[in-house]
Amino acid sequence: MNHAITLAAVDLGSNSFRLEIGSYEHHQIHRVEYLKETVRQGNGLDAQRNLTQESMERGWACLARFGERLRGFDPQHVRAVATQTLREARNRDVFIDKGSELLGFPIEVIAGEEEAALIYRGVVSQLPATDERRLVIDIGGRSTEFVLGQGSVAQSVASYRIGSVAWTSRYFPQGQLSAQAFQTAEIAARAVLDEVLDSFQLGSWDVAYASAGTANAVGDTLAAHGHGEGIITRAGLDWLQQQLLRFGHVDRIKLDGLKEDRRPVVAGGLSVLRAVFDLLGLDQMQVAQGALRMGVLYGMVDESYAGDVHTASVLGLMERFGVNHVHARHVAETAQQLWLQLHPQEEAAPAALAWAGLLHEVGCRISRSDYHRHSAYVLEHCNAAGFSATELKHLAQLVLGHRGKLKKMEAFMHNTEHALQLLCLRLAAVLCNTRRAPDMQGVQLLRQGKLLLLQTPDGWSQRFPLSAQLLQDEAEAVAKSDWMLQVQHTV
């Protein structure tokens, strides 16, 4: 797939129905549109495990709206999947037949194991490519999936009939939030999940990730109250339970970060999450993005979704903003070479330095004038899979400071490593001023404290007079910061 293709995934969950539309281009899927409706079909199963007419009507109405948005889509580029509620419903065929007609595309009821594998694929699509062993846990409305994998490969999957909607209905049926109800819900959750320990033993993963609605709801709430961004801790779960007990009823819950549609089911989800922490001996989990619908989207592309997410994002940005690949590569490689001269004990330069070199001219598509400022804005505000907001801000700062006066970079350069990355990038941009690969034979960069010494070999300044002059200009610019640059040309 070398041209942009529009893909759509429909996720018929027990709590919400979701439609994710993405554009696949440059090895990445970028969001085009996202629609979500809180249908709570998981609450619509009666004692005989049949969907009530009311719950089916809610689902059909949502699918009709999704269907209008999907008109004209290539059937090969749309996949609709249903999970635990429709796995359980005895009259699911009635719902699926009419729902598929309203949506305009067939609805598949997937097994819990396939759901788990797709969840892992979706989560991995938003993470850097590493060899870390990953535990991914997805607490849905009526099922919870566990996946153990390494890098991009899922190695062990499991699905259990337990979730936020089911546990809230069973243990908090009137919305009352009591200590006894929480204790009972957690004990029951541990009983259901007890066999998890057979396949998911402590020590078999490096990082634990939590995905889907419950994880995002808990993570957002904890972050809004100063418990850390993108992380769920045991202490945070204790704090949240105490807050819910203080409110006493779901109708009285008012917590920053907790969305209205999650409030009615947060107690059940929290109980399951606390049980998972206890069973697996977890101290913390990272909140993951991606989830089922992203896994469905990536499952539709022809090539493997596995790979270096950072690199794919960088290449995608270079393509979208028409970056000259040859020149960008010269700057990136030169910056890395200079860094390694300063750090001969290291095997590789920081990845951020290479990325900044490759992306320093993305702003030229907007305007050549002050392009470094445009580049910085694009990088700080773009949606680049695999990159955290902190990483993008760091790249934006490097790109912003790679040319011009250094006064604007004072705060950034208080960190020695940041300052050295920036100075290597600036020198690389100067040495590549002719937009050709510079002759680095005999060029050496040394450091003594906050003094950088750039030495060139015999005759270098005569062969490259423009570069020699620009290096002198750079020395004068650096002298106005806390650092110094001396250029020594051997005649």
Per-residue pLDDT band at 490 (split at 50, 70, 90): confident
Q: With 0.75 as the threshold, say if the pTM is over it.
A: no
pLDDT digits (tens, 9 = 90+) for 354-397: 999 999 999 999 999 999 999 999 999 887 766 777 889 999 99
Residue 126 pLDDT level (bands cut at 50, 70, 90): confident
Rounded to whole angstroms, the Cα distance separating 12 from 159 reads 17
Identity of the residue numbered 334: T
pLDDT at 485: 96
Q: How confident is the model at residue 387, as a pLDDT? A: 78
Place 491 in a pLDDT band, splitting at 50, 70 and 90: low
Query: pLDDT tens, 418-470?
Result: 999 999 999 999 999 999 999 999 999 999 999 999 999 999 999 999 999 99
**If you ran DSSP here, which 8-state letter would residue 421 be given?**
H
What average pLDDT does this structure show over 188-214?
91
**Spatial CA neighbour of 158 closest among 175, 142, 174, 143:** 143
Residue entry with tokens 């991914």: 136
Collect all residues with Cβ–Cβ distance below 8 Å to 443 and sequence separation of at least 6: 431, 454, 455, 456, 457, 460
- Per the document, the length of the chain is 491
Secondary structure class of 284 (helix, strand, coil): strand
- Band of pLDDT at residue 303, cut at 50, 70 and 90: very low
pLDDT digits (tens, 9 = 90+) for 217-244: 999 999 999 999 999 999 999 999 999 9
Determine what percent of the chain is predicted with pLDDT higher than 90.
76
Mean pLDDT on 293-303: 82
| Cβ–Cβ under 8 Å, residues 10 and 68 | no
Distance CA 152, CA 146 (A): 15
Dihedral, CA of residue 259, residue 261, residue 262 and residue 267, to nearest 10: 130
* Full set of structural domains in the chain with CATH: 5-110 (3.30.420.40), 113-292 (3.30.420.150), 309-439 (1.10.3210.10)
Looking at the predicted structure, is the pLDDT value of residue 290 above 90? no
Residue 203 DSSP class: T
Question: What does the pLDDT read at residue 306?
Answer: 40
- If you average pLDDT over residues 138-142, what whole number do you get? 92
